[in-house]
């Protein structure tokens, strides 16, 4: 076998081995994602705990069902823009709740309301009783690149970024927020349809693994055909 043929085989073997290793890594990521989803699903399906018992670590608190008792502060609520429901544009109403004996407030996603522009809505018509006693689940804040706050609509945000949003309130806010659980199809008047618990997907790890294994197969078959012609 000529030296260049040996080099070709070595390179093809390295490429195939690398692709196989990356495919196995993606399968490991898939297993980790499934385990996390099972844990989050178990949290969402267990009986609600008292708000005071929510873990301080946001990772441990994520998706836990919580019973919250407090009072809404409607004067300081904000909205999340570009939220759709059944193909209609709208916003999610985020209202801070004050808890007895606590300086820190917790933000509560009360649900979705229709907004033609997907950014602004008359929130005064969606004011529930000020006293709050309900079940919810814990969601964590997000950090992304790009502008968080709308430049055209006051108190409107594109996503829940705690650093930016906390500047709107005259008091500290909790390191996570709550999403109310309740009637979503036909809620009573003045109560917005609640936001359902989002589906837990497995991501693209399986398809990525198949792609890497395909690349490895192509490399091996290519080497075999090359050597056969030689």
- Residue 10 CB: number of other CB atoms within 10 A? 11
Q: Of 100-114, 189-203, 212-226, which has the strongest mean pLDDT?
A: 100-114
- Co-location of 69 and 170 in the same domain: yes
Quick one: CA torsion of 141, 82, 179, 157, rounded to 10 degrees?
40
Residues 175 and 76 in one domain: yes
Is residue 213 domain-resident? yes
Q: Is the pLDDT reported for residue 87 higher than 70?
A: yes
Q: Is the pLDDT of residue 184 over 70?
A: no
> What was the pLDDT predicted at 187?
63
Q: Which two tokens mark 88?
A: 């209609």
- Classify residue 191: in a domain, yes or no: no
Whether 76 and 128 share a structural domain: yes
pTM: 0.75
| CA torsion angle 39 40 43 45 (round to 10) | -110
Mean pLDDT, the chain, rounded, equals 86
In a domain, 219, yes or no: yes
Q: pLDDT at position 32, please? A: 78
Residue 167 has pLDDT above 80, yes or no: yes
Is 186 within the bounds of a domain? no
Q: Please report the pLDDT score of residue 92 as a whole number.
A: 96
Please state, as a whole number, how many other Cβ atoms lie within 10 Å of the Cβ of residue 152: 8
Domains identified in the chain, total number: 2
Q: Check whether 68 has a pLDDT greater than 70.
A: yes
Q: Do 138 and 88 lie in a common domain?
A: yes
* 175 within a domain of the structure (yes/no): yes
Indicate if 138 and 215 belong to the same structural domain.
no
The Cα 35–Cα 20 span in angstroms is 23
Is the residue at 142 inside a domain? yes
Give the pLDDT band of residue 161 (cuts 50, 70, 90).
very high
Q: Are residue 125 and residue 158 in the same domain, yes or no? A: yes
148 CB neighbour count, 10 Å cutoff = 17
128 and 208 co-located in one domain: no
Domain enclosing residue 130, as ranges: 64-180
pLDDT score of 179 more than 60? yes
The percent of residues above 90 in pLDDT, for the chain, comes to 40
- pLDDT band at residue 63 using 50, 70 and 90 as cut-offs: confident
Question: Looking at the structure, do residues 77 and 175 belong to the same domain, yes or no?
Answer: yes
């Amino acid at each position: 076998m000529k030296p260049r043929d040996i080099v070709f085989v070595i390179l093809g073997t390295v490429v195939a081995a690398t692709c196989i290793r990356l495919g196995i890594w993606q399968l490991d990521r898939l297993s980790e994602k499934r385990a996390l989803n099972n844990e989050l699903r178990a949290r969402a399906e267990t009986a609600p705990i008292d708000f005071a018992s929510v873990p301080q670590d946001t990772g441990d608190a994520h998706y836990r069902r919580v019973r919250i008792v407090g009072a809404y502060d409607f004067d300081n609520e904000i909205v999340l823009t570009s939220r759709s429901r059944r193909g209609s544009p709208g916003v999610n109403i985020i209202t801070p709740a004050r808890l007895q004996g606590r300086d820190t407030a917790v933000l509560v996603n009360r649900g979705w309301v229709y907004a033609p522009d997907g950014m602004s809505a008359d929130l005064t018509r969606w004011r529930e009783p000020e006293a709050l006693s309900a079940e919810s689940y814990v969601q964590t804040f997000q950090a992304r690149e790009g502008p968080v706050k709308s430049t055209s609509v006051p108190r409107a945000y594109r996503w829940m970024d705690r650093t930016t949003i906390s500047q709107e309130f005259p008091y500290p806010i909790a390191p996570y927020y709550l999403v109310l659980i309740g009637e979503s199809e036909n809620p009573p008047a003045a109560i917005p349809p609640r936001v359902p618990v989002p589906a837990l997907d497995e991501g693209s790890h399986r398809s990525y693994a198949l792609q890497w294994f395909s690349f490895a197969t192509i490399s091996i078959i290519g080497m075999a055909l090359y050597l056969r012609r030689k």
